[in-house]
Amino acid sequence: MVNILHIDSSPRTERSHSRELSKQFISAWKAGHPEDVIAYRDLGHHPVPHVDEPWIAAAFSPPESHTPELAEAIQISDDLVDEFLAADRYVFGVPMYNFNVPSTFKAYIDQIVRPNRTFAVDAQGSYKGLVEGKKAVFITARGGDFSATSPLVAYDFQEPYLRAIFAFIGVTDILFINANSLDEGDDSRTQSLSQARAVIQDLITQW
């Protein structure tokens, strides 16, 4: 049995391509693996708080030293980290906003990238990811063409950032399904979504 954490981050509902594609992935996966457990979090409609000063004080101090205020400030983060670590695999639906991730997803990342929970620093100042043996799939929706041969690829700060920050905490087995050119006309959108759906179906048998 595999535990999967499925997260959507688009504020849109029916018109969200990232939601549609991540839902397709999860539905196909459940059909072939009915024994697996799926946890779902909707950051687009139920965002998590941004990091604030009490959070920082709590995250960088021993739990036994926390005042009630600091314990309360870090509680949501603790819950999110526990949920994240309990999963074996992750499926993320992430639209591209201004060449990167939505603020809802960035806030989530800031909550789970935690010293001594998801990464550590040794005596020499070297960083080590503590999240090991996990797999992640990022399903992205992009208005323009940010594929490898496009002039816009230099503006893709989404995939490089996600690869870097998740590798930082130890998640290096990462796959991307990028639906590009969704705002470039009906034909481009239809072709891109069809390609993404085909990749999803192929991936289900291999992941």
For 135-192, what is each residue's pLDDT tens digit?
999 999 999 999 999 999 999 999 999 999 999 999 999 999 999 999 999 999 999 9
CA distance 207 to 202: 9
Q: Which residues touch 51 (CB under 8 Å, ≥6 apart)?
A: 107, 110, 111
Give the Cα-Cα-Cα angle 140, 145, 149 (nearest 5 degrees).
110
**Helix, strand, or coil here: 114?**
coil
Domain count within the chain: 1
Percent of the chain with pLDDT over 90: 98
pLDDT score of 150: 95
Q: Rounded to the nearest 5°, which phi and psi values hold at 174?
A: -125, 135
pLDDT score of 183: 94
Whole-structure pTM value: 0.95
- Paired tokens of 115: 């010293």
Domain that holds residue 112: 3-204
CATH code at position 61:
3.40.50.360
